[in-house]
């Protein structure tokens, strides 16, 4: 649903507002790297704007901090209605290394609803472009949760009552897999 | 003067050619030493919990579901891809891959969960994986004892099926 909505709403271009709520500037530099001619993001219509009132997309970098929480929420509220939030970097996705300290509240999604996550510390500029392409519906996402369960115990388990004496040898009657 | 300088600039720009990468249309590979998402190999994992102990972001969780099942869960939300889990793993079950295209719309997509059968210690009741680590070490190589001199040889370098057994063997005397 969100995909079709994206294609309808953002047919031409995404105007991006770049909100740093207390990160280390690593992700900011990667985002600026995306806008350079090398990774030219303007071919997707992505343009950096200075005010949240002009923006369709908010790029959040850095964790939700105690000191910048209100400012971030105000910037989100100032954006016009169909809006998308990207959480860029491991701080914005999960709170960063200092997730449990006093001044850090946690991931950005505690304050604003996040639509797309781009993990990495910092993410490569390609990863950011890929995230935007996933949001636009140009490519499919590659990740999926992995789960592994051992159903059968890989080692035979012995029970002493099956050990039977036969002439000179002691023989184990049946090998059982649990 | 200004026209001439602008012409010069145009020439310089044209000389450079096209530098933009055709990225999402064509795949692009990360450099050799790039550390991407860690991948947990469940067949090699012994459930020792070294990675969970050392993870600075505390994103690898370890809990014993019951007496015999140990669950290792990598959440990866705030993973900084430092590679300490791969560094500390004694069985080399964690490898840092080159994957960087991890963008998703739900954060649960990047977690990995492993459930392992463990045995319980008769004394303390805690889980451990059998056979014990010391036994596994002995089982890794072919036994290639020296029969003539009646001595044990503990370790040999070749233990894969495709490798020659005798040629590159390095014998360490007890």
Give me the numbers of helices (H) and strands (E) for chain A, helices first please.
Answer: 5, 10
Residues B49 and B113 in one domain: yes
Residues B103 and B162 in one domain: no
For residue B171 the two structure tokens come to 């014998």
Q: What's the total number of domains in chain B?
A: 2
Supply angle C-alpha B2, B8, B11, rounded to 5: 145
Inform me whether the pLDDT recorded for A116 exceeds 90: yes
Residues B35 and B106 in one domain: yes
CA dihedral B1, B6, B11, B14 (to 10 degrees): 180
B80/A97 touch (CB, cutoff 8 Å), yes or no: yes
Residues 6 or more apart in contact with residue B146 via CB below 8 angstroms = B152, B153, B171
Residues B131 and B147 in one domain: no
Confidence of residue A86 (pLDDT cuts 50, 70, 90): very high
Inform me whether the pLDDT recorded for B146 exceeds 70: no
CB B96 within 8 A of CB A109: no
Range with the poorest average pLDDT among A28-42, A124-138, B46-60, B146-160: B146-160
Residues B130 and B149 in one domain: no
Cis ω before A9 (30° cut-off from 0): no
List Cα–Cα distances, B109 to A30, A70, A99, B102, B112, in angstroms.
23, 29, 20, 9, 9
Q: Is residue B16 part of a domain?
A: no
ipTM at complex level: 0.73
Q: What is the pLDDT of residue B158?
A: 46
The 10s digit of each residue's pLDDT in A33-67 is 988 888 888 888 888 899 999 998 999 999 999 99
Inform me whether the pLDDT recorded for A31 exceeds 50: yes
Is B67 an interface residue toward A (CB < 8 Å)?
no
Q: What structural domains does chain A harbor? A: 2-136 (3.40.50.12280)
Residues B50 and B84 in one domain: yes
Closest by CA to A60, choosing from A110, A124, A10, A5, is A110
Range with the poorest average pLDDT among B28-42, B75-89, B95-109, B146-160: B146-160
Distance CA B42, CA B35 (A): 20
**Largest Cα–Cα distance of chain A, in whole Å?**
91
B residues 70-129 near A, CB within 8 Å?
Answer: 75-81, 99-117
Domain span at residue B164 reads 141-174
Average pLDDT along chain A: 83
Q: Is residue B135 part of a domain?
A: yes
Residues B105 and B158 in one domain: no
Residues B51 and B123 in one domain: yes
Distance CA B48, CA B116 (A): 11
* A chain contacts of residue B23, beta-carbon cutoff 8 Å: 39, 126, 129-130
A142/B131 touch (CB, cutoff 8 Å), yes or no: no
Inform me whether the pLDDT recorded for A175 exceeds 80: no
Residues B38 and B108 in one domain: yes
| Tokens 């002439």 sit on residue | A167
**Average pLDDT of span B148-155:** 62
Task: Choose the mutation target among A91, A94, A96 for the interface with B, i.e. most B CBs under 10 Å.
Answer: A94
CB B71 within 8 A of CB B114: yes
CB B56 within 8 A of CB B117: no
Inform me whether the pLDDT recorded for A85 exceeds 90: yes
Closest by CA to A32, choosing from A54, A61, A63, is A61
Q: Please give the distance of CA A14 from its chain centroid, rounded to a whole number.
A: 20
Closest by CA to B100, choosing from B75, B67, B76, B65, is B76
Residues B53 and B125 in one domain: yes
Closest approach of B167 to chain A, Cα-based (Å): 32
Q: Is residue B67 part of a domain?
A: yes
pTM of the predicted model, to two decimals?
A: 0.73
Inform me whether the pLDDT recorded for A87 exceeds 70: yes
**Average pLDDT of span B2-26:** 86
Residues B41 and B112 in one domain: yes
Range with the poorest average pLDDT among A65-69, A82-86, A158-162, B61-65: A158-162
Q: What is the pLDDT of residue A68?
A: 92
* A chain contacts of residue B46, beta-carbon cutoff 8 Å: none
Q: What is the pLDDT of residue A177?
A: 46
Distance CA B140, CA B149 (A): 23
Is B22 an interface residue toward A (CB < 8 Å)?
no
The 10s digit of each residue's pLDDT in B87-134 is 998 888 999 998 888 889 888 888 899 998 877 666 776 666 665 555
């Amino acid at each position: 649903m969100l995909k079709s909505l994206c294609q309808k709403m953002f047919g031409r271009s995404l105007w991006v507002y770049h909100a740093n709520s207390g990160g280390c500037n690593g992700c900011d530099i990667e985002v600026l790297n995306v806008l350079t001619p090398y990774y030219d993001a303007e071919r997707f219509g992505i343009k950096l704007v200075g005010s949240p009132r002009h923006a369709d997309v908010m790029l959040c970098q850095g964790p939700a901090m105690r000191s910048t929480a209100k400012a971030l929420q105000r910037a989100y509220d100032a954006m016009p209605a169909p809006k998308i939030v990207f959480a860029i970097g491991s701080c914005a996705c999960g709170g960063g290394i200092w997730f449990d300290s006093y001044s850090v509240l946690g991931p950005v999604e505690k304050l604003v609803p996040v639509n797309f996550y781009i993990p990495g510390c910092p993410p490569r500029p390609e990863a950011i472009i890929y995230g935007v392409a996933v949001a636009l519906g140009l490519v499919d996402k590659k990740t999926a949760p992995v789960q592994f369960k051992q159903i059968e115990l890989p080692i035979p388990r012995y029970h002493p009552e099956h050990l039977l004496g036969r002439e000179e040898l002691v023989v184990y009657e049946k090998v059982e897999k649990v | 003067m200004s026209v001439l300088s602008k012409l010069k600039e145009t020439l310089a720009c044209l000389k450079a050619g096209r530098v933009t990468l055709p990225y999402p249309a064509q795949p692009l590979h990360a450099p050799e030493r790039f550390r991407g998402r860690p991948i947990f190999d469940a067949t090699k994992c012994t459930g020792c919990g070294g990675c969970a102990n050392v993870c600075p972001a505390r994103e690898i969780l370890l809990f014993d579901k019951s007496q015999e099942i140990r669950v290792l869960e990598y959440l990866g939300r705030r993973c900084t891809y430092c590679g300490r889990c791969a560094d500390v793993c004694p069985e080399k079950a964690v490898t840092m891959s080159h994957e960087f295209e991890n963008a998703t719309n739900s954060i649960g997509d990047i977690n990995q969960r492993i459930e392992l059968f463990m045995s319980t210690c008769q004394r303390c009741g805690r889980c451990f994986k059998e056979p014990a680590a010391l036994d596994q070490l002995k089982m890794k190589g072919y036994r290639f004892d020296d029969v003539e001199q009646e001595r044990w040889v503990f370790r040999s370098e070749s233990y894969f099926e495709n490798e020659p057994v005798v040629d590159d063997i390095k014998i360490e005397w007890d």
